[in-house]
Amino acid sequence: MKRRDFREMKQPTVMIIPMIDIMLFLLVFFMLGTIYMVQTTSLQVTLPKAASGNVETRPNVISITVTADGNILYESDATSAENLPQKISATLESNSETVFLIRGDKSARYENVVSVLDLLKKSGARHVSIATSKE
């Protein structure tokens, strides 16, 4: 049996490659989790189809949903057209680069979607997108 010499001190080694693998795994995990959370926090509506849709990747995206019966939801909170400008202004005061994503149901009246778009313009929103689904 071999005896261990306690006077001999070995330098510890730090394995960098497994640490990088774990950090990349965590990064991908949280990125996918964040994307899933953004999609589930909004009300499910049937979006119109478009062939040229792009994915919005900016960090501050606020969704405004117009349902088929004309109700307006700011994020997931029901609101009226009269209260919407105050909520938009409060959001723009905290971050002027916020992107507003209009999610209009494809059976919603065009007038309701245009009124939300008009309220956004009057409130000073500079970045507005309209959500569609891929064809």
Give Cα 41 distance to the centre of its chain.
9
Contacts of 112 (CB under 8 A, 6+ apart): 66, 70, 72, 104
Report d(CA 120, CA 123) in Å as an integer: 5
Query: What pTM, to 2 d.p., does this model score?
Result: 0.60
Per-residue pLDDT of the chain (135 residues; tens, 9 = 90+): 677 777 777 777 888 988 999 999 999 998 887 776 655 555 566 666 666 666 656 678 888 989 888 899 998 888 888 999 999 999 999 988 888 988 888 888 888 889 999 999 998 888 888 887 776
CATH architecture entry for 45-134 = 2-Layer Sandwich (3.30)
